[in-house]
């Protein structure tokens, strides 16, 4: 963890009302996650307790506290996708990648995350890979998407 990068972001947002949210986004954008060892630094600079920082990060599902793979695959678990058999997509991805949710492949190429709506309900089931949403996914489409990344 680069404390100078963290401090740079803190300086940018600490006097901004409601600055904790954009601060956390900036840290995660920079590092890919929010290391728990940053909590005391953030706590001191933002005049909040470490418990408040932990509570904030754990409240928002978007924030991660562990390093992720180069490519993050999110599986939609909202009602529409569930109704269109997203569970089979979830099982297939876990088996194909050899990981569970919140884990990273051994080669650090992929992480798998649940998400609770991608806003693509008309094209269920949906997944998101990095910043791109894909609808009406099936095993063949997933295989092609992963192959294209590798």
Tens digit of each residue's pLDDT (9 = 90 or more) over 1-16? 688 999 999 999 999 9
Beta bridge partners of 72: 111
pLDDT value at position 150? 79
Q: What percent of the chain has pLDDT over 70?
A: 99
Interatomic CA distance for residues 25 and 32, integer angstroms: 10
Given a cut of 80, whether residue 106 has pLDDT beyond it is yes
Question: Is 64 in contact with 34 (CB distance < 8 Å)?
Answer: yes
Q: What residue segments make up the domains of the chain, in order of their start?
A: 3-59, 71-149
Is pTM beyond 0.75? Reply is yes
Question: Is 44 in contact with 84 (CB distance < 8 Å)?
Answer: no
Interatomic CA distance for residues 117 and 108, integer angstroms: 25
* CATH code matching the domain that covers 71-149, chosen among 3.40.30.10, 1.20.1370.20, 2.40.160.40, 3.40.640.10: 3.40.30.10
Q: What is the Cα 13 distance to its own chain's centre?
A: 22
Mean of the per-residue pLDDT values for the chain? 95
pLDDT value at position 2? 80
Using one digit for the tens of pLDDT, what is the confidence trace for 32-79? 899 999 999 999 999 999 999 999 999 998 899 999 999 999 999 999
**HEC states along the chain?**
CCHHHHHHHHHHHCCCCCCHHHHHHHHHHHHCCCCHHHHHHHHHHHCCCHHHHHHHHHHCCCCCCCCCCCEEEEEECCHHHHHCCHHHHHHHHHHHHCCCCCEECCCCCEEEEEECCCCCHHHCCCEEECCEEECCCCHHHHHHHHHHHC
């Amino acid at each position: 963890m680069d404390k100078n990068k963290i401090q740079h972001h803190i300086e940018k947002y600490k006097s901004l009302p409601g600055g904790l949210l954009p601060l956390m986004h900036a840290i995660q954008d920079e590092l890919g996650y929010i290391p728990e060892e940053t909590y005391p630094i953030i706590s001191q600079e933002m005049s909040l307790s470490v418990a408040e920082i932990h509570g904030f990060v754990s409240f928002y599902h978007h924030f991660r506290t562990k390093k992720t793979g180069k490519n993050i695959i999110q599986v939609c678990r909202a009602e529409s996708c569930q109704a269109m058999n997203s569970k089979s997509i979830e099982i297939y991805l876990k088996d194909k990648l050899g990981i569970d949710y919140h884990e990273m492949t051994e080669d650090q190429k992929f992480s798998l995350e649940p998400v609770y709506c991608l806003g693509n309900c008309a094209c269920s089931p949906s997944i998101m890979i990095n910043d791109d949403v894909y609808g009406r996914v099936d095993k063949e489409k997933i295989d092609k998407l992963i192959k294209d990344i590798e």
